[in-house]
Amino acid sequence: MRVAMYYNNRDVRTEEMQIPKINENEILVKVIACGVCGSDVMEWYRVKKAPTILGHEVAGVIEKVGKNVKKYKKGDRVFVSHHVPCNKCKYCLNNEHTVCDMLRTTNFDPGGFSQYVRVPKINVERGVFLLPDEISFEEGTFVEPLACVIRGQRKAGMKAGKSVLVIGSGISGILHIQMAKTAGASKIFATDINDYRLKAAKRFGADNVINAKEKGAGILGDLVIVCTSALSAIKQAFESVDRGGTILFFAPTKPGVEIPLPLWRVWHDGITITNSYAGSPEDITAAIDVIRAGKVNVKDMITHRLALEEAGKGFQLVASAQDSIKVIIEPNRQF
């Protein structure tokens, strides 16, 4: 089979490898579509594992089923989660599934930028979700990122009537905008340094958009969602959260980066700081329901559909954060 082998953001090569063999407890999935996530182009994190095959936003069709697998059959349309929790540790029992040790070590083989993936037993049991007929494979690639957004807003206490400021209007920011609108936000503001993304933010539901290069915007939000690791954005978050408000750090910095904390204001003005990483099976189920019900428009967020041989272009589009929102790789499409 063909795979897109990642060496760095500017070096992604089409290579050949054997189709993975499955055992009696596993399934083989033919990948129809896999989204390029912003985390895929975090070079400081990815290069140390290169060469490797990335891709975790997988939607496809079950090609083979191990004899002990009874829940699924050949031909089923599925979304496959690469990380799954144990559901037994203290973190899982306290609804903190995304910090479970098992979740951080599980994966499928290889990554989604390949024609086929082998899904291990634990992922078959806890990380395979049937795609309703109403959800296309392309839309299925949004399940994982939307699940992360749903978890983040739940942790941040999002509810109707709150004003929301989204800092960073890439795919995560636009999903946050749409979910906040669905939740009944009173006003949604969005910032970015890229006019293309600001126009997209407006199109997908932001009431006002502001170029982050401008000063003195004077916006205060009950919930400020930071979807970029830029230090200037983090500073803006503390300046833009209203009294009694919450800051949700949705994007990570590099390890070792330390941020000055305006503790007096946090204490005096009752500011809550929280963060969110990944999504749990519960969040994935919720994301599928949201997409199925048409509560968010994910289809129109797709700006590029590329064959596997064009994966390098996809990585460059996402890494440059310019004229793209959602880039999807279709590994089994003819180039």
105 with 176, same domain?
no
Domain tally, the chain: 2
Question: Which residues, other chains included, contact 186 with Cβ-Cβ below 8 Å and sequence gap of 6+?
Answer: 160, 161, 162, 163
Which H or E run contains 63? strand 57-65
Residue numbers of the chain with a pLDDT score lower than 70: 215-217
287 with 218, same domain?
no
Task: Write out the residue range of the structural domain in which residue 49 sits.
Answer: 2-145+279-330
> Domain for residue 335, yes or no?
no
Instruction: Print burial letters for 257-272: b (CB count within 10 Å at least 16), e (below 16).
Output: eeeeeeeeeeeeeebe
34 with 133, same domain?
yes
233 with 88, same domain?
no
211 with 181, same domain?
yes
- What average pLDDT is seen over the chain? 96
- How do strand 187-192 and strand 208-211 relate by DSSP bridges? parallel
> Domain for residue 233, yes or no?
yes
Q: What is the reported pLDDT for 215? A: 61
> Domain for residue 152, yes or no?
no
CATH number (domain holding residue 48)? 3.90.180.10
pLDDT in tens, 1-41: 999 999 999 999 999 999 999 999 999 999 999 999 999 99
pLDDT in tens, 65-80: 999 999 999 999 999 9
270 with 323, same domain?
no
Q: 68 is written with which tokens?
A: 């002990």
Q: What are phi and psi of 194, to 5 degrees?
A: -115, 120
The model's pTM: 0.96
18 with 131, same domain?
yes
Residue of 37, 18, 130, 30 whose CA lies nearest to 77: 130
Q: What is the reported pLDDT for 51? A: 97
CATH number (domain holding residue 252)? 3.40.50.720
> Domain for residue 179, yes or no?
yes
137 with 193, same domain?
no
> Domain for residue 204, yes or no?
yes
Query: Which of 275, 296, 320 finishes a domain?
Result: 275
Give just the sign of the alpha carbon dihedral 75, 81, 83, 85: negative
Helices within the chain (DSSP H only): 43-46, 90-93, 121-126, 137-140, 143-155, 171-182, 195-203, 231-240, 263-268, 281-292, 311-320
How long a stretch of residues is the chain?
A: 335
> Half-sphere exposure (CA, 13 Å, Cβ side) for 199?
6
Report the distance separating Cα 118 and Cα 95, nearest Å.
28
> Domain for residue 27, yes or no?
yes
Task: Tell me what percent of the residues of the chain surpass a pLDDT of 90.
Answer: 95
